[in-house]
Structure 1
Amino acid sequence: MGRIRCLFRPILAGATLRERLLACGGALAALCVTALLGYFVVGPKAALPFLVAPVGASAVLVFAVPTSPLAQPWSVIGGNVLSALVGIGVTAFVHDTVLAAGLAVGGAIAAMSLCRCLHPPGGAAALTIVIGGSVVAAAGPLFAFVPVGLNSVVLVGMGWLFHRLTGHTYPHRAPRVDPAERRSRFRAEDVDRALIEVGEAFDISREDIGLLLREVETQALVRRHGEPTAGDVMSREVVRVTVHDTPETARALLLAHDVRTLPVLGPDGTVVGTVGLRELVRPASCVSEVASPPLTAPADLPALALSRALTDGHAHAAVIVDADGGLCGMVTQTDLIVALCRALTDAV
């Protein structure tokens, strides 16, 4: 039984049963909406299909691996439409089906690569043109836009809505190069050289590879020296402001206590933001108008797990909160350095 269960383990890194079930539901809803809209646009008596098969493969990418470069909107729309146009061009000059099929798919790969919209279902879109018969041939270049382009646009729109509702980002935004990279033991050029050395293409952007490697460093650090928690190292006497305090009050507290960040509390005492001198340069009548979203963490989180978040150039402190979002303390960059020194000393 153990070996049988292994066969059903997801091959995608980070995949969970919940994510896969959500992807199934999202694809179901998206394909239904795409087919319905295509039906109304094409019309019930039209010879053209209202849904093309390559869109099913596109749905797998958009909903199951939305972070893939192959699943981004330009890849889906541009890849499918451009490939269909290549297929139409090939069939106009090559009448042997076998030769036309190979030329269409090969040409689609070349065209998508040149236009930076590589999308595997695009090969199926090009092949559909070749083997689609008289209906596709009669439609001419229009087929690349209706139904292929229409299906692709609707699918991308449904993907954006679905991932927004489920808390994911789509289109995927690769992390920007930040100060954390300069403090890592590897650089972007190291990633480039490693990819060249391996000699394989991976379905993940270089920026995401760097982000993943930095997180691996953090988790390895926690594994080796992860005993102190955020609650152990946090500062418990925390200067704070409320959403109704004025920027002048916040500025005076920052300077008087020589701190860089103040947590902002809402009327119920929960942490709703943070404010520092950087935010206070903007004109405002109260602190709530300029506060930034807080970096929060529970007290039982390993303190060293905050290392990446506190070295990315954005946050100078993490607000430690309880289960209800109430303020417990603060872990600053200085607190984190002290915790790291203690962990390394204990290890020796």
Structure 2
Amino acid sequence: MSRTALLAWLRRFRPHPAAPSWREGVRRAAGALVGIAVTGVATHLVFGGTRDIPMLVAPMGASAVLLFGASESPLAQPWSILGGNFVSALVGVACARWIGVPVAAAAVAVALAICAMFVCRCVHPPSGAVALTAVLGGPSVHALGFGFVATPIAFQSMALLGAALCFHALTGHRYPRDVVAALASARQVAQHAAQQAAQQAKTFDALTCEDVMTAADHAVPLTMARHAAWERLHRHGAHALPVVDEARRVVGVVTHRELAARRPEGGVRLALGLGLGQALWRVLRRRTLEMEETVEAVMAAGVHAVHRGAPLASLVPIFADHAYYEVPVLDDARRLVGVVRHSDMIRWLHRHAGAASLLAQAG
């Protein structure tokens, strides 16, 4: 193994960067404290201080890590802890009773518990420890027989789950997780990643404007007031706003220059030469008319637009010769469907091999 490959392999041991904030970490730790305390107290109150039933079994600590520390995981959902602990305890007790060699019984118990959890769709990692506890828990656990499944495993699992449900609800955290919605979201993310991978596999010459365009949600209608367009321009952080008609066809563009507020000329002389009331009325009237001016009155016509199927490379001279920040993209009916920003092209070139040679050719 080369040094580079060795270093790349060792980097996989680094901590995961997606750690929760310290506040969230404290919340989760407090939840585990509450959960284990409630489980132990509940076992003591229901079954008393009898030595036959453990007040807490070790696998509950591992379950608490999942229920409070990683509650969004599919392994931490209610059916996972209840079903996983139940079937694993059942398998563990059976192996302890019917296999005389402890090491063999432990190995078979864990293996069969995993199979049972997969069949029942309730995989819960701490349940492997439940199976081991049933085999290696000692005389007190063996004396319980199949009663170990109900007490303490099933009871303590339900107590810990009840504490988790209450704690997450009181702290404003959604639990249990909607697994179906999560799977749908994951599927959408995977599809988006596949689309991006397919897009990146294309060469620059094969890319079309549709491949890299973004939504044109900052477009403004002809009838929009100029001050409203000014606010939208700043809200979106755009350099220009495409202007569209009722059919969403591009008819022009407005920039900071067209939308900048104009000061009424002669305002000072007006105030000095006329009465204060009359001067103020005229200034306010002129300001009102100015604010009500529509985008159509100030827009610049003749904007360059391209069809969605046009090669992306065809935008290079438009960006270079006209100093555009973005170019509108149209469909077959010449309706606005998106925009291609010059930053989108630069980002694509930066991510792909051959970007340097392409920029050299353009220069």
TM-score band, normalised by shorter chain: 0.5 to 0.7
Match of 1:160 among 160, 165, 181: 165
**Equivalent in the alignment of 1:207:** 184
1:170 matched to 2:147: no
Return the structure number with greater helix share.
Answer: 2
Map 1:1-348 → 2, pairs under 5 A: 11=16, 13=18, 15-174=20-179, 176=181, 206-213=183-190, 341-342=338-339, 344=341
CA gap 1:346/1:98 in 2 versus in 1, 3 angstroms: closer
State how far apart, in whole Å, the 2-side matches of 1:49 and 1:302 are: 63
Computing the radius of gyration from Cα coordinates, the structure with the larger value is 2
TM-superposed deviation, 1:46: 3.5
Output one character per residue of 1:289-326: Cα deviation in whole Å (capped at 9) or x when no partner.
xxxxxxxxxx95889xxxxxxxxxxxxxxxxxxxxxxx
TM-score by length of 1: 0.53
State how far apart, in whole Å, the 2-side matches of 1:12 and 1:139 are: 45
CA gap 1:175/1:125 in 2 versus in 1, 3 angstroms: closer
Contact 1:175–1:211 (CA<8 Å) still a contact in 2? no
Contact 2:215–2:338 (CA<8 Å) still a contact in 1? no
TM-superposed deviation, 1:62: 0.9
Output one character per residue of 1:48-75: Cα deviation in whole Å (capped at 9) or x when no partner.
1021110110111111111211111111
Contact 2:82–2:154 (CA<8 Å) still a contact in 1? yes
State how far apart, in whole Å, the 2-side matches of 1:214 and 1:59 are: 34
CA gap 1:23/1:216 in 2 versus in 1, 3 angstroms: farther
TM-superposed deviation, 1:7: 12
State how far apart, in whole Å, the 2-side matches of 1:165 and 1:300 are: 36
Contact 1:226–1:302 (CA<8 Å) still a contact in 2? no
**Equivalent in the alignment of 2:290:** none
DSSP-derived class of the 2:179 partner: coil
Output one character per residue of 1:9-48: Cα deviation in whole Å (capped at 9) or x when no partner.
8527463333222111111111111111011112113421
State how far apart, in whole Å, the 1-side matches of 2:148 and 2:52 are: 11
**Equivalent in the alignment of 2:273:** none
User: Is there any run of 5+ residues in structure 2 with no aligned partner, and where?
Assistant: 1-10, 195-211, 224-233, 239-329, 346-363
CA gap 1:301/1:54 in 2 versus in 1, 3 angstroms: farther
Amino acid corresponding to residue 98 of structure 1 in structure 2: V
CA gap 1:161/1:213 in 2 versus in 1, 3 angstroms: farther
DSSP-derived class of the 1:117 partner: coil
Contact 2:214–2:339 (CA<8 Å) still a contact in 1? no
TM-superposed deviation, 1:227: 11
State how far apart, in whole Å, the 1-side matches of 2:19 and 2:336 are: 29
Output one character per residue of 1:166-187: Cα deviation in whole Å (capped at 9) or x when no partner.
33321110354xxxxxxxxxxx
User: Is there any run of 5+ residues in structure 1 with no aligned partner, and where?
Assistant: 1-5, 177-204, 218-223, 238-298, 304-336
TM-superposed deviation, 1:211: 4.6
State how far apart, in whole Å, the 1-side matches of 2:214 and 2:145 are: 63
State how far apart, in whole Å, the 1-side matches of 2:165 and 2:85 are: 18
Contact 2:52–2:144 (CA<8 Å) still a contact in 1? no
Amino acid corresponding to residue 70 of structure 1 in structure 2: L
TM-superposed deviation, 1:207: 3.0
Contact 1:80–1:119 (CA<8 Å) still a contact in 2? yes
Contact 2:214–2:338 (CA<8 Å) still a contact in 1? no
Q: Percent of aligned pairs with the same residue?
A: 38
TM-superposed deviation, 1:159: 1.4
TM-superposed deviation, 1:215: 8.3
DSSP-derived class of the 2:338 partner: helix
State how far apart, in whole Å, the 2-side matches of 1:214 and 1:165 are: 36
TM-score by length of 2: 0.51
DSSP-derived class of the 1:341 partner: strand
Amino acid corresponding to residue 48 of structure 1 in structure 2: I
Contact 2:59–2:129 (CA<8 Å) still a contact in 1? yes
State how far apart, in whole Å, the 2-side matches of 1:226 and 1:9 are: 35
